[in-house]
Chain A
Amino acid sequence: MKNPEEIFEILKREFDETLLSIDNSAPTEPIINIAPIGIMKVSRFLRDTEELKFDSLMVLSGVDEANGIKIKDEDGVETITGGNLSVYYHLYSTTLRHKITLKVTTSRDDPQVESVESVWKCADWHEREAYDMFGIIFLNHPDLRRILMPYDWEAGYPLRKDYKNPEFYQGMKVPY
């Protein structure tokens, strides 16, 4: 069993400095930040190294950081430009019993992250859901399309903080 700082040391030995950093500010768990292009190589290394053996991806979640500039236009509708979208990965090793949290941050206007579906098949549907809810494009994903919302939903990405509901969808009134 290793703790997150030791895991970060092992990663630093293998990969370039600009790719990774560790964030110890939160009281509950330290988070390792990784660049969006490069997460696939790091994941494969984490899964295959003998001393780490992270064979199970517990959860992959998209988050809208909402740290851009909030603009209110004439109707009172608020939109956010700039800012970040992030993806959090929680990994677990069933043999060595240790956990780690990774975080990837990308820009809101052109969000692109490498897909880890080739490393853990579990990420397939999780990444489709992150695309459906936030609009994050996962490169090299075999089948990136909406999963929870209808396939012809035009009104945007629902879990973003500046999402607005459409009035009608196929003849049915949506608001209460």
Chain B
Amino acid sequence: MALKTDTMILNMGPQHPSTHGVLRLELEIEGELIRNVTPHIGYLHRCFEKHAEAMTYPQIVPYTDRMDYLASMGNNFGYAIAVEKLLGIKVPERVEYIRVIMAELQRIASHLVALGTNGLDIGAFTPFLYLFRDREKILSLFEMTCGARLLYNYIWVGGLSHDIHPDFPRLTKEFINYFRPTITELNNLLTFNKIFIERTANIGILPVDTAINYGVSGPSLRGSGIAFDLRRDDPYSIYDRFDFDIAVGKGIAGTVGDCWDRYYVRVLEMEQSLRIIEQAIDRIPEGDVQSAIPKRIKPPKGTAYARVENPRGELGYFIISNGGVTPFRVKVRGPSFVNLEVLGELCKGHLVADVIAILGSIDIVLGEVDR
């Protein structure tokens, strides 16, 4: 006998322990199955683009930090490359090497938070505490260099704000030797844990064509099986001089493109970042990090679009200059903004508890979604 049924609308409001920030999800459920998910964003809209039209080019750098607050070095990096493209200047070799080392250390720190909170949402409290302990070591390296723990304002247009401390290479090598065994410890604790695999394998499968059509990038795209990484396929700075592999999801625990694959791609990427840092830390040439910083930044009229591989995906800056000291328009393409669109597709047909696992595996930061 067919019954007349109706769907229920459940609100996962802006204040929720597992939504990684202020995100509102409107779930349309039938029993425990999801029929539709509608994200509502804008709860952290801080008007970055309006500020960028009123500040001079160097004054915008601290505001770029605060968009994706877990990967500040990457945000500064992208902005610096875009403005240097407009100005047509080239930075010294020492600056390039230090920028790459900082960006890779930041990638490891950001992935530690992503993996820790992913496990925390599913119910694993211990890896969260262990990974934050390791993250404190990276933050003390950053604090030694530029004085701040979270929002650095370090990579300026044309150079860096401070030179590295003489002890920095030695302490970085000590950190690399310390961190390699902790990745094995993380794998034993969480990655190959039977309960974690049951919760995340075969959940939220993202096919490659859908991913490219929706514009997904970063580890979420590589988890679906395609080896597309901006550091290899559209290289910027000096990434073409280093030897590293691209981590791709292979469906070891379930199907290709499920939540476990996206999680495992991040674990493998941390290992590859260690390789890049090892190759770069011994080859830093001598030089002056502030020699190419222009006294007054007034680019000629034109447009430029530059993109970098942030830990969450492809971060792009589109800058239009009309010849003045402030930009005419700055548009930021945040990877989390684009990655979040695909949540509606991924959640159809799953249970309510799976929404948390899928949201954790896409890894969004609301500062970047709302800018």
Contact = CB atoms under 8 A, between A and B. Distances in A.
State if A and B touch, Cβ cutoff 8 Å.
yes
Contact of A31 (B303, B331, B371): B303
A148 interface: yes
B338 interface: yes
Interface stretch (A7-15, A35-43, A107-115, A119-127): A119-127
A56 B303 contact: no
A175 interface: no
Contacts of B47: 158
Contact of B213 (A58, A64, A90, A121): A121
Given A97-B234, A148-B42, A158-B50, A120 B215 contact: yes
A28 B304 contact: yes
Given A150-B42, A159-B50, A59 B303 contact: no
A58 B314 contact: yes
A58 B214 contact: no
B370 interface: yes
Contact of A121 (B214, B233, B303): B214
Given A94-B212, A121-B341, A147 B42 contact: yes
B301 interface: yes
A103 to B, nearest CB: 9
A88 B320 CA distance: 11
Give the size range of B's interface with the partner.
35 or more
A56 B337 CA distance: 15
Interface of A is mostly: loop
A149 B41 CA distance: 9
A55 B234 CA distance: 16
A121 B328 CA distance: 28
Contact of B41 (A29, A57, A101, A147): A147
Contacts, number: 83
Nearest to A64: B329
A118 B49 CA distance: 27
B222 to A, nearest CB: 12
A contact residues, range: 20 to 34
B287 interface: no
A154 B325 CA distance: 32
B105 interface: no
A29 B88 CA distance: 13
Interface string A112-153: 000000001110110000000100000000000011111000
B307 interface: yes
A61 interface: yes
8 contacts: A29-B302, A55-B212, A90-B305, A90-B316, A94-B212, A148-B41, A148-B45, A149-B45
Interface of B: 41-42, 45, 47, 49-50, 85-86, 88, 212-215, 228, 233-234, 300-305, 307, 314, 316, 318, 320, 328-329, 331, 333, 337-338, 341, 370-371
Given A63-B320, A90-B318, A94-B212, 13 more contacts: A28-B303, A29-B302, A29-B304, A58-B215, A90-B305, A90-B316, A94-B233, A121-B341, A125-B337, A148-B41, A148-B42, A148-B45, A150-B42
